[in-house]
């Protein structure tokens, strides 16, 4: 089966980390986000994938190539200008292998949904388009769908930007029930794709689906059970990292268990001590010396070196980060090739690629 993955976002909420990589290649437990999607699609029979790309498109194509390393076939449809969700689908459709049903995946979703069940339901209903749905507490910042008894979509309520900002400013708002939201996975018949205007920005949520609802054109919802997170920003990124390490999903982790709470990729050398309740994932070839304390949730990327006496608590270090002797990092994210000097105390910080912090420096809210 054929699939389109929308992977053209600019990742502005992840800056400075997305200055050096597109958001879909952000590593989660030492594995790029898109690899989780490709693995899930392949497991459910989607073995021909077109990536709809824009920002840093070359990086995605270099990583995946023709797809053979991942057991699938891949092509790439780069946008000359941002085209929106539907516009990206229409542009990518020109690179599909055949004129047939296609599945579409938003490139920032981490899920273990049973995609095969959603596809079967689409076929049984003879739907023209099917949207995977996730039940979430209301109110929420997502588009909410109303269904009839047969699963046909009756209405789509998309929040305004003002409503989204209000919810972001007050995350502890009183919950009033549950809503079905768009989970970012679609099954589309060719005629739906062909109905999308070409050459301009088109939103599938604000233009195509409302038109289908109004015209009673066979748009259905498919409530799905399982784990689902939209990795929209650092808070969601941190949630996914914790959830995967805690085994809250049916998603296989890269690497192998090394000890209780510790997963390691190939050739990692770990002599650190995990404090009670700590969880860590260590990338290929990383070296962690003796008398290093890992607390909370810690992810250490490939080629990192953590010197003795250091303490890392709730940190994510990407590739080739060097933490010198006796440094103390709390709630820190480091991009590649960051160097932290001996005796540093750093908290609540995001370090851009190549940052150098001199010895005994104090950075963050607690110093």
Q: Would you list the domain boundaries of the chain?
A: 2-245, 256-363
pTM: 0.89
Residue 163 has a pLDDT of 72
Q: Under a CB-based contact definition with an 8 Å cutoff, are residues 330 and 348 in contact?
A: yes
The per-residue DSSP string of 86-99 comes to HHHHHHHHTT-SSS
Instruction: Count H helices and E strands in the chain, helices first.
Output: 8, 26
The confidence score (pLDDT) of residue 142 equals: 75
| pLDDT at residue 9, as a whole number | 80
CB 195 within 8 A of CB 208: yes
Class of domain 256-363: mainly beta
The CATH code of the domain at 2-245 is: 3.90.550.10
Angle at which helices 33-43 and 57-64 cross, to 10°: 50
- How high is the pLDDT of residue 139? 61
pLDDT of residue 179: 84
Q: In the prediction, which pLDDT does 164 show? A: 74
Spans in the chain with pLDDT lower than 50: none
Q: What is the pLDDT of residue 268?
A: 86
Give the three-state DSSP class for 146: strand
Q: What is the pLDDT at residue 161?
A: 74
């Amino acid at each position: 089966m054929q699939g389109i993955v929308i992977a053209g976002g600019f990742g502005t909420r992840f800056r400075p980390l997305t200055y050096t990589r597109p958001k879909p290649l952000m590593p989660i437990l030492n594995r790029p986000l898109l690899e989780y999607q490709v693995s899930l699609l392949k497991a459910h029979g989607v073995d021909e994938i077109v990536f709809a790309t824009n920002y840093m498109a070359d990086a995605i194509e270099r990583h995946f190539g023709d797809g053979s390393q991942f057991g699938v076939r891949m092509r790439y449809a780069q946008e000359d200008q941002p085209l929106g969700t539907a516009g990206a689908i229409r542009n990518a459709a020109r690179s599909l292998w055949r004129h047939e049903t296609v599945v579409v995946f938003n490139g920032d979703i981490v899920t273990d949904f049973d995609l095969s069940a959603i596809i079967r339901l689409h076929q049984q209903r003879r739907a023209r388009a099917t949207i995977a749905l996730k039940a979430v507490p209301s109110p929420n910042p997502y588009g909410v769908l109303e269904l009839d008894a047969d699963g046909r979509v009756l209405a789509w309520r998309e929040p305004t930007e003002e409503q989204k900002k209000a919810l972001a400013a007050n995350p502890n708002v009183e919950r009033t029930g549950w809503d079905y939201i768009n989970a970012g996975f679609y099954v589309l018949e060719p005629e739906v794709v062909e109905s999308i205007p070409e050459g301009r920005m088109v939103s599938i949520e604000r233009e195509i689906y409302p038109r289908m609802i109004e015209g009673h054109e066979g748009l259905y919802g498919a409530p799905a059970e399982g784990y689902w997170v939209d990795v929209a920003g650092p808070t969601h990124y941190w949630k996914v990292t914790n959830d995967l390490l805690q085994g809250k999903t049916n998603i296989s982790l890269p690497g192998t268990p090394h000890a209780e709470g510790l997963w390691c990729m190939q050739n990692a050398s770990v002599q650190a001590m995990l404090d009670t309740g700590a969880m860590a994932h260590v990338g290929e070839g990383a070296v962690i010396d003796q008398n290093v304390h890992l607390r909370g949730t810690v992810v250490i990327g490939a080629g990192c070196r953590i010197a003795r006496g250091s303490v890392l608590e709730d940190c994510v270090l990407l590739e080739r980060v060097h933490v010198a002797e006796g440094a103390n990092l709390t709630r820190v994210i480091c991009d590649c090739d960051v160097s932290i000097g001996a005796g540093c105390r750093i908290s609540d910080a995001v370090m851009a690629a190549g940052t150098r912090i001199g010895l005994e420096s104090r950075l963050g809210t607690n110093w």
